[in-house]
């Protein structure tokens, strides 16, 4: 499977997540369904999170908006792939953050190659690809904004379970 080509052809979260799940399944043999993606305003030092035992992945809307401002589809897809892969691994039971980072990098490098922007993000952090995004800055977080925007049609693999 040419995961890099598949990722390049994506234009939404659902497509990117299918690439993530395929890469994980091929690499680890593991997978799951039933996840929901939400976007929320978070401090820049949090790219996303998955609460253990939940079906939610919450992605940082502030960082995503900055990535989207680049208007570079390849870099946007690389970023979203990285975030979703990392949190998907958490949803599969990888609790230790350092272990999850190592596995994220290994899967990304195997699936997309060592020079892919997603691999660079996994190895060096978001600043390796988006130098204009101060990930560790706290000031862009607006505590007055609350709530989670649910991404529709994020994962449709489980729709056949509901009639």
Q: How far apart are the first and last CA of the chain?
A: 32
Evaluate if residue 89 carries a pLDDT over 60. Answer: yes
Instruction: Give the Cβ contact number of residue 147 at 10 Å.
Output: 9
Q: What is the pLDDT of residue 142?
A: 53
Query: Can you give the residue ranges of every domain in the chain?
Result: 3-157
Quick one: which of 91, 74, 75 has its CA closest to 24?
A: 91
pTM: 0.88
- Express each pLDDT in 96-120 by its tens digit: 999 999 999 999 999 999 999 999 9
CA dist., res. 142 & res. 140, Å (int): 6
Q: What is the mean pLDDT of residues 135-158?
A: 65
């Amino acid at each position: 499977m040419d995961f890099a080509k598949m990722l390049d052809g994506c234009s939404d979260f659902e497509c990117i997540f299918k690439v993530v799940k395929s890469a994980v399944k091929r690499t680890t043999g593991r997978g799951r369904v039933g996840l929901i993606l939400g976007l929320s305003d978070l401090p820049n030092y949090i790219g996303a999170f998955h609460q253990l035992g939940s079906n939610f992945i919450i992605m940082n809307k502030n960082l995503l908006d900055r990535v989207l401002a680049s208007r570079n589809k390849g870099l946007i897809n690389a970023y979203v792939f990285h975030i979703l892969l990392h949190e998907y691994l958490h949803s599969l039971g990888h609790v230790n953050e350092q272990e999850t980072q190592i596995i994220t990098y290994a899967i990304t490098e195997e699936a997309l190659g060592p020079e892919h922007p997603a691999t660079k993000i996994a190895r060096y952090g978001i600043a390796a690809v988006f130098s204009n995004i101060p990930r560790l800055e706290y000031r862009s977080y607006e505590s007055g904004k609350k709530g989670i925007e649910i991404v529709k049609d994020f994962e449709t693999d489980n729709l056949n379970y509901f009639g």
